Amino acid sequence: MITIYPLEWIDSLILLTLNPNKSNIGNLSQSDLVFITENLSRESHKIQIQLKNEIFALQKKRQIRLLVRKYHSTLVYLLDNIIENQNNEILKDGIFFRITESIIDTLDDLLYFVENRYPNYLNLDERVPLPYLLVSRKEILLKIGRLSKKKTAINDVNRVIQIIVDALTVSNQINAGNKITYREVLYQKELLKKVEMQLAIESKSNFYSLLDELLIEVNFNDSFYISHVIEKVENHLKSQETLAGKIGELLFCYKEFSQLSSSERIAFDPSKQNISFMLENWFRHEIKYLERKKELSVDVDENNAATESMQMGEDKVECTLSTDQMALILRAGDESRVLKARSMSLVFKTIVPFLSTPFKKNLSYQSVRSKSYNAEDRDKEIAIQTLKKIIEKIKSY
């Protein structure tokens, strides 16, 4: 049975050695202070190993839960005491201040280890004590400042970084009316750690950047970030001129988004819905809207085409010549360059739809053009006589 108290050295250091009410801190030698500084890292490593060994030896979840919570509450208690000790004048300056800061950092690392490795055995929805909150905020704000200086070659990624910085800065503004839980503090620490790691390998991927994929995965449901994703999609759709093109690109963006995972256990803002739910809802409504708009557009185009066709039918010019005779005159007009177009086919295509005969209302320009190559002598004579009649008429003017 394990009877060793793993926190014994650091406990004694905080509650006795560096406690101005129980010892004369000024009697500590330079070698004592150097030893304390060097031993902190070793002790932290030993405590983590001891905790893992103790948990590994247990089989019941209830026992593990009690052990994890015991470690966690003791670390919070020690953190509270070292911060209180810092109020003493002798610990506010020089090497003593640096030692107390090192102890605070060590305790913070141990708390992060417990919270991150064994979150299922802790009540992360408890309100954090003020000393713990102050230390955590100091660490988070330091990392936020470091993140705000990060710049990449991708403008969209830089914009997302600024959104993260702004969201976390606002979240960490001191407001006594807010209940800050361990879960929220742990989320922000883990988010900053993952973002920093992601930026080290950030590169252009698909429509969504690797940073987007991370934020969607950890359910970063900040309203400004969600608006940014929507704006990003809308700007992408502007490159498409047709509704069909916009719908196609929107479906592509939705497909890419649907393939990204998003946690339902964690959230940046627990009071809001999951980022996946909100964006999927937007995609579905936007696709439905564009598809309906396209349907209405098709209806309008069909009505306009029908109206145009009716008007064309009503506005046709009736020619007393047959289609064969009409074809000869148009062909002659093209080949004599009286009528000029890119091709003879274009001459027929442009003129014939507006002509009719006493026997036929709608003429096919292809049919009329083909007849210009197979005209009978009688049709040629009638065409010539018609042109002579026109010549005589012009002479009479």
Mean pLDDT per 10-residue run, the chain (397 residues)?
76 90 83 88 91 90 91 91 85 84 90 89 85 86 91 89 93 66 90 91 75 95 95 91 89 92 90 93 93 75 53 70 87 88 85 84 84 83 87 86
Q: Which of 122, 155, 190 is the last residue of a domain?
A: 122
Residue at 73 is within a domain: yes
The per-residue pLDDT for 382 is: 86
The per-residue pLDDT for 205 is: 62
Domains: count for the chain: 4
The amino acid that residue 378 corresponds to is: R
Residue at 325 is within a domain: yes
13 plus 94 within the same structural domain: yes
Residue at 3 is within a domain: no
Residue at 214 is within a domain: no
pTM: 0.65
332 plus 231 within the same structural domain: no
The per-residue pLDDT for 314 is: 58
Residue 394 tokens read as 């012009």
The per-residue pLDDT for 177 is: 47
Per the structure, the complete domain to which residue 363 belongs is given by: 317-395
Residue at 215 is within a domain: no
The per-residue pLDDT for 194 is: 93
Distant-in-sequence, close-in-space partners of 379: CB < 8 Å, separation ≥ 6: 322, 324, 325, 328
Residue 71 tokens read as 């470690």
76 plus 144 within the same structural domain: no
271 plus 194 within the same structural domain: no
Residue at 169 is within a domain: yes
Q: Which of 89, 122, 155 is the last residue of a domain?
A: 122
Q: Which of 122, 153, 188 is the last residue of a domain?
A: 122
As a whole number of angstroms, the distance between CA 228 and CA 218 comes to: 17
26 plus 91 within the same structural domain: yes
235 plus 249 within the same structural domain: yes
Residue at 360 is within a domain: yes
200 plus 264 within the same structural domain: no
As a whole number of angstroms, the distance between CA 72 and CA 186 comes to: 13
89 plus 131 within the same structural domain: no
Instruction: Please say whether the beta carbons of 10 and 46 come within 8 A.
Output: no
As a whole number of angstroms, the distance between CA 381 and CA 328 comes to: 11
335 plus 232 within the same structural domain: no
371 plus 290 within the same structural domain: no
Residue at 40 is within a domain: yes
251 plus 165 within the same structural domain: no
